[in-house]
Amino acid sequence: MAAAGGWLRSGAKLKRNMPAYLASWRASPCVFRSSKSELMPNLASDGVVCAPLQTFTEEETMLKNMVTKFAQERVAPLVQKMDENSKMEDSVIQGLFEQGLMGIELGEEYGGTGASFFSIILVVEELAKVDPAVALLCELQNTLTNKLFTTYGTEEQKGTYLPRVAKDTIGSFCLSEAGSGSDAFSLKTRAEKKGDYYIINGSKMWISLAEHAGVFFVMANTDPSLGYRGITCFIVDRNTEGLHVGKKEDKLGIRASSTCPVTFENVKVPETNILGQVGQGYKYAIGMLNTGRIGIAAQMLGLAQGCFDHTIPYTKERVQFGKSVFDFQGMQHQIAQVATQLEAARLLTYNAARLAETGRPFIKEASMAKYYAAEVATLTTSKCIEWMGGVGFTKNYPIEKYYRDCKIGTIYEGTSNIQLSTIAKSLAQEY
């Protein structure tokens, strides 16, 4: 009877018969990796390594300030026009190249700025405060195009393409197809070997920047019998015969940034234009998208902050019932909540960027940053329209544009559900 209900008698003591993992007062042998502190060898006495996440180097601060000025002076006057016409102004593209914002991490020997990865994140955030479409152009060029060349390109490929992408050539990443979205590696585009060349046939959809791109990274399968292990990345110049860029999509948001179908009809590509190794394309895509997610988090963060910055001054000026809208406690609580979430999104994004920059594991943190920043952008823009009232619903103010632009954040470079799955897989390995 003493053992009934799970109690066991041992001398004068009673013990609860329970699994070890339910021993609530016992320290768990498993620790959430992000909560672990890590010894930093050779820690400088000035403590720079342990500085707050929002502490920037002098170079990063100068670049951030320069981009803020550029965005206000060169981009802001054209935002509404570009959105309405669904077209990026040539002067904006040219300005990005002139300011060195399309080759931020590239070495000076290639015409780049030679700055840090974190600098890319700051630049994207600042641009997105004014126009997320322009921020996307800069983000994709730096986190996908340039990184693919620097990470996997041969010296000859680097020498050929890096000076171009730093000076005047936009790159475009061709992965998605009609039947392969989140299931990206079920792609059907085929590359058949013919001597020293490959012949590519197939079609891609939702290809960002395709309208202006001068070079394309095309994911095609060289051996379908191997499944995703046959996927190979090819460098294809825009003027290659058989490559056709279709009519751009009429999108809800980020309208100035083109999204087009791209088809390949017997496109002949020399073997020397394979990026990296045959059959390794799927690995390259995963690696680049992991880094790119931090960039998209920065885009969503900047978008949300820009919308917030436009809205709060209005709530302080708008008077109802004898006082400003901002002075109502119900409004203050909502605004404070959104401001807190913006700060959390910023810290998640900056943390992921610093981890990536220092070569530490960041896949989970990148997914967390992208997932959360997209959610915060959705909440922030929705609330800002409500706080602005009727004028927030009109195109006379940029608030509705931010609202339209943010939705893509939960979709591209891995949907929110894909991010949650990635986070869960990481957690399963940690515990």
Q: In angstroms, rounded to a whole number, what is the distance separating the alpha carbons of residues 384 and 369?
A: 22
Q: In angstroms, rounded to a whole number, what is the distance separating the alpha carbons of residues 289 and 208?
A: 14
Query: Side chain identity at 387, as an amino acid letter?
Result: W
187 DSSP assignment: -
**Residues in the chain, total:** 431
- Among residues 38, 241, 413, 430, the one annotated as catalytic is 413
> Which residue do the tokens 């018969």 mark?
17
Q: What is the 3-state secondary structure (H, E, C) of 192-240?
A: EEECCEEEEEEEEEEEECCCCEEEEEEEEECCHHHHHHHEEEEEEECCC
Tokens of 166: 């730093």
Q: Is 357 designated active site?
A: no
Q: In angstroms, rounded to a whole number, what is the distance separating the alpha carbons of residues 394 and 230?
A: 50
Gyration radius of the chain over CA positions: 25
* Exposure class string for 110-130: b at 16+ Cβ within 10 A, else e: bbbbebbbbbbbbbbbbbbbb
DSSP string, 5-44: GGEEEETTEEEE---GGG-TTSPPS---GGG-----TT--
What residue spans of 318-410 are helical by DSSP H?
A: 329-357, 363-388, 399-406
What are the distances in angstroms from CA 192 to CA 201, 204, 234, 242, 275? 8, 17, 12, 15, 16
> Which residue do the tokens 């600098």 mark?
119
Judge whether 284 and 276 are in contact, CB under 8 Å: yes
Q: In angstroms, rounded to a whole number, what is the distance separating the alpha carbons of residues 367 and 373?
A: 10
Neighbours of 349 (CB within 10 A): 31
**Residue (of 144, 117, 110) closest to 63 by Cα position:** 117
- The set of catalytic residues is 413
